[in-house]
Amino acid sequence: MHIPDGFLTNRLAISLDILSGAGILYAAHRAKIEFSSRRVPIMGVLGAFVFAAQMLNFPILGGTSGHLIGGSLLAILLGPMAGSLTMATVIIAQALFLQDGGLIALGANIFNISAVTCFSGYGIFKLLGGSAGSGKRLLFAGLLSGWLSVMISSACCALMMSLSGAIPIHIGLTTMLGYHAIVGIVEGMLTAGVLSFLFKVRPDLMSIDGMGRFGAADWIGALAFVAIPACILVAAGSSSLPDPLQKLLTVNPPLPETAAGSEMLPSARYADYLMRGGLFVLFIGLWFAISRLTRHRRGGHEA
Amino acid sequence: MTDYAVRITRLGYTYPDGTKALEGIDLDILPGERVAIVGPSGAGKSTLLLHLNGVLESTGSIRIMSSNLDSSNLQQIRKQVGLLFQDPNDQLFCPTVFEDVAFGPLNLSVPPGEIPRRVQKALADAGLDYSMRSRSSHHLSLGERRRVSLAAVLAMEPVILGMDEPTSNLDPRNRRHLINVISGLKATLIIATHDLELVLDVCSRTVLMDHGKIWADGETRAMLANAQLMEMHGLEVPLSLKAVGSG
Amino acid sequence: MRHSFIDRYSALDSPLHLLEPRSKLVAFTTLIIAVLCIPANKGILFFMYFFATAILMGISQVPLTFIMGRVLVILPFIVLATLAAPWRGFPGLAILFIRAILCLLLLILLTNTTRFIELLRGLRKLGCPEILVMNLSFLYRYLFVLTEEAMRMKQARDCRRVGRAPFREELKILSSMLGTLLIRSFERAERMYSAMLSRGFSGEFQVYSPRIFSWRDLTFLSGAALFVVMTFLIL
């Protein structure tokens, strides 16, 4: 689900903007190094494919219909880096063309719908040995990868909304997970279906030359990239983050602090924000420095 | 020794899955010549064209205007050899006509002040008005897109022009218009096509390809009137020649 | 088709349309952030921003019906998300709702007074990575081509069946349609790349077209900045 502007706390929205922005810069950086430049136009064209594919509806359960979201499919075909970059392109285009999802909430939407679906979809597919086998194994891995990626993504969305006090966490999780359990089935089936079609017709597309191959070190890095800022946020003594969580876990909590309730910044808060901003920038800078230093070890295909 | 525009020697190309697309191709073309490449589908015509500017590379050698084509001088070769692809949608990837036509010159480091003039000239050479420049290519008809694609290639001012099925899917008027444009071009032309009337109209020399090899190379009318040769390679004698031949 | 929907009113001549894309991006983003920072107890600020937005809407010459149409599409999500926290009571809910609508209106204004390509150029000049802008550009261009293909495939599918096929069958058909569309996308990207190479592409997109930063932009930016500062000084 694309979150419109106004439902996330500014702190959360802007933190996610910075996080997603850094992620995109990093993925773009990796893309330039690793992908032969002939592959680069593919991301744009596949972005258009995702748009077009979302118009092809699949009827489920009477009147409703679902469609392919495409995150895990793209990640499986292109690798999670290129896949999430492509999906990020789609999210941005959706915000600009259709105003689907807010402007400041772009970081959050990119995180949920592109990063989370792509990385979790890819990881699950690999874990289930989908790339090794064919036939039943491929179908199974594709199915679960599609379904779980949607579930995890919707859980993240629910978490974000409840951290912002827009919805109690238990209601948020149950409704989001419940709804997306059904939607996810469509995703899973279509992901599996397309993968097996490709395997039959164009198996060469299934193993696109070394694009964004993701090693163990990369996984640790990706997890750290999310976990560390999250810890910083919490550990930096944020007064509002534990509180809404606490409040939301009780039934009918009093007015929680939300985007609606955010006070104008007195100078103490300024220092708070400054420190947090500084830590973020420092972290991102470190990340870039490390990736640049390890660039030669990464190697990869040149044009 | 004559200065050839294009000298292809023993060119061979194999697809990744092992099928031979081209075998032992020898072809020499003089500057200013207009050569047609005809043959059934799958003969390798398009594949051959893609070798002229190094998009595909393989065994054998190619000389363009007395320079050997290899990976070190691709940019220079592409300045001299223009390729018009079959599907305009593949070639018009910029948001406006102007940008598509300007794409080539910009890549050739033509100074920005020069660009509008080049675009205007290229559009005019392709039979289009400069006022079209702000339009988006997806709003154009196929005939217009074809011409914009041609303009985009002409903007690079190539001396050799390869074309892949330039008249396919065009209605009679657009087709006639395009043929007129092509006839007026000064570059060396290499046209791969099924449109044999076009060949008769524009090209004095024809090369017949089938199964990746060249089977005949000579004067156009004589070759196309040879019913046995044509039928052997999945083609037909064009109607206009039949009418002349009968009675 | 869909494209004319996207860029339908972005080629008008209003003062907003004539601004340079960078200034619009900066100004509207600032305004949206400002709206997001309005505290719940300063209701008057909402009115002021609504008033300002209404003025901008008027200046933009984009038809009201069109804007309302766009709002209507996103409205269900906003309503749903608002009603998810019913404990907040009427004033709280109203504020949440108004805030969301205001941000939406500002976004609609930004994207409908700027041609998409101009927006991309603005993003690029503001430092957005080349690869992202390039891919957005290709997405925009090929959106039309691919949706056409998708629609044709849909029509062909619809022509060949009566009623609804069993679930399994539907799944197979849709999977093969998507798969085919995907393969065609890959192949098109390859051919497009060949065409780019043939026209001298060597890795970097060369940018042409200067949109000059003029007095208009300066006025607009300073106007927006002034407005934001003044409204927040009324604490």
Q: Is C62 in the same domain as C116?
A: yes
Q: Test C150 with A56 for CB contact under 8 angstroms.
A: yes
Residue pairs between chains A and C whose CB atoms are closer than 8 Å: 251
How far does CA A114 lie from the centroid of its chain? 4
Q: Is C102 in the same domain as C36?
A: yes
Q: Is C83 in the same domain as C26?
A: yes
Q: Test A47 with C135 for CB contact under 8 angstroms.
A: yes
A34 within some domain:
yes
Q: Is C62 in the same domain as C113?
A: yes
Put simply, whether C140 touches B (Cβ < 8 Å) is: yes
Q: Which residues of C touch B108 (CB under 8 A)?
A: 200
The better pLDDT of the pair B221, A54 is held by B221
pLDDT digits (tens, 9 = 90+) for C92-139: 788 888 999 999 999 999 999 988 878 888 888 888 888 888 888 888
C205 within some domain:
no
Residue C141: C-alpha distances to residues A98, A194, B88 (Å): 16, 24, 13
pLDDT digits (tens, 9 = 90+) for B60-116: 888 888 888 888 888 889 999 999 999 998 899 887 899 899 999 999 988 888 999
Put simply, whether A160 touches C (Cβ < 8 Å) is: no
A78 within some domain:
yes
Q: Test B95 with C195 for CB contact under 8 angstroms.
A: no
**Neighbours, chain C (3 or more CB pairs < 8 A):** A, B
C129 within some domain:
no
Pair C118, C103: CB distance under 8 Å: no
Domain count, chain A: 1
DSSP H helical segments within B9-87, as ranges? 45-51, 74-80
Cα–Cα distance measured from residue B148 to residue B135, given in angstroms and rounded to the nearest whole number: 11
A147 within some domain:
yes
Q: Which residues of B touch C145 (CB under 8 A)?
A: 89, 138
d(CA A202, nearest CA chain C) in Å = 8
Chain B: residue nearest C184 by CA?
A: B90
Overall fold of domain B6-245: Rossmann fold (3.40.50)
Q: Is C38 in the same domain as C109?
A: yes
pLDDT digits (tens, 9 = 90+) for A27-77: 888 877 766 666 677 888 888 898 888 777 666 655 556 678 889 999 988
d(CA B26, nearest CA chain C) in Å = 23
Question: Which of A118-122, A165-169, A204-208, C127-131 is the most confident on average?
Answer: A118-122
DSSP secondary structure string, A100-154? Answer: -S-STTHHHHIIIIIIIHHHHHHHHHHHTTTTT--THHHHHHHHHHHHHHHHHHH
Put simply, whether B16 touches C (Cβ < 8 Å) is: no
Domain count, chain C: 2
Q: Which amino acid is at A196?
A: S
Q: Test B85 with C191 for CB contact under 8 angstroms.
A: yes
pLDDT digits (tens, 9 = 90+) for A78-122: 888 888 899 999 999 999 988 888 999 999 999 999 999 999 998
Mean of the per-residue pLDDT values for chain C? 83
- The partner residue sitting opposite C206, judged by closest CB among B106, B138, B152, is B106
Q: Is C14 in the same domain as C112?
A: yes
Q: Which residues of A touch C92 (CB under 8 A)?
A: 255, 260
Q: What angle do CA B80, B83, B84 make, to 5 degrees?
A: 140
pLDDT digits (tens, 9 = 90+) for C1-41: 345 567 778 777 788 888 888 889 999 999 999 898 888 77
Pair C2, C73: CB distance under 8 Å: no
d(CA A95, nearest CA chain C) in Å = 9
Chain C: residue nearest A198 by CA?
A: C179
A contact residues 224-263, partner C, Cβ 8 Å cutoff:
252-255, 258-263
d(CA C193, nearest CA chain B) in Å = 8
**Domain that residue A161 falls in:** 10-212
Q: Which amino acid is at C103?
A: C
Chain C: residue nearest A42 by CA?
A: C189
Cα–Cα distance measured from residue A120 to residue A126, given in angstroms and rounded to the nearest whole number: 10
Q: Is C6 in the same domain as C109?
A: yes
d(CA C197, nearest CA chain B) in Å = 7
Q: Test C199 with B153 for CB contact under 8 angstroms.
A: yes
A275 within some domain:
no
pTM for the full model? 0.79
Q: Which two tokens stand for residue A283?
A: 């972290």
Q: Which residues of C touch B82 (CB under 8 A)?
A: 198
Q: Is C19 in the same domain as C72?
A: yes
Q: Is C156 in the same domain as C73?
A: no
Put simply, whether A273 touches C (Cβ < 8 Å) is: no
B66 in helix, strand or coil?
coil
Q: What are phi and psi of B149, to 5 degrees?
A: -60, -40
C65 within some domain:
yes
Cα–Cα distance measured from residue B156 to residue C199, given in angstroms and rounded to the nearest whole number: 7
Q: Test C198 with B78 for CB contact under 8 angstroms.
A: yes
Q: Which residues contact B234 (CB under 8 A, 6 or more apart)?
A: B39, B40, B210
Q: Test A96 with C116 for CB contact under 8 angstroms.
A: yes
Pair A295, A33: CB distance under 8 Å: yes
**Domain that residue C183 falls in:** 135-198
Furthest-apart CA atoms within chain B: distance in Å: 61
End-to-end C-alpha distance for chain C, whole angstroms: 48
A85 within some domain:
yes
Pair A247, A256: CB distance under 8 Å: yes
Q: Is C112 in the same domain as C167?
A: no
Q: Which residues contact A182 (CB under 8 A, 6 or more apart)?
A: A60, A61, A66
A194 within some domain:
yes
C31 within some domain:
yes
Which residues partner with B217 through β-bridges? Answer: B207
Residue A201: C-alpha distances to residues A79, A89, B27, C182 (Å): 20, 27, 36, 12
Pair B91, B34: CB distance under 8 Å: no
Every domain of chain B and the residues it spans:
6-245
CATH of the domain at A59: 1.10.1760.20
A250 within some domain:
no
At residue C101, the pLDDT reads 93
DSSP secondary structure string, C190-225? Answer: HHHHHHHHHTT--SSPPP-------HHHHHHHHHHH
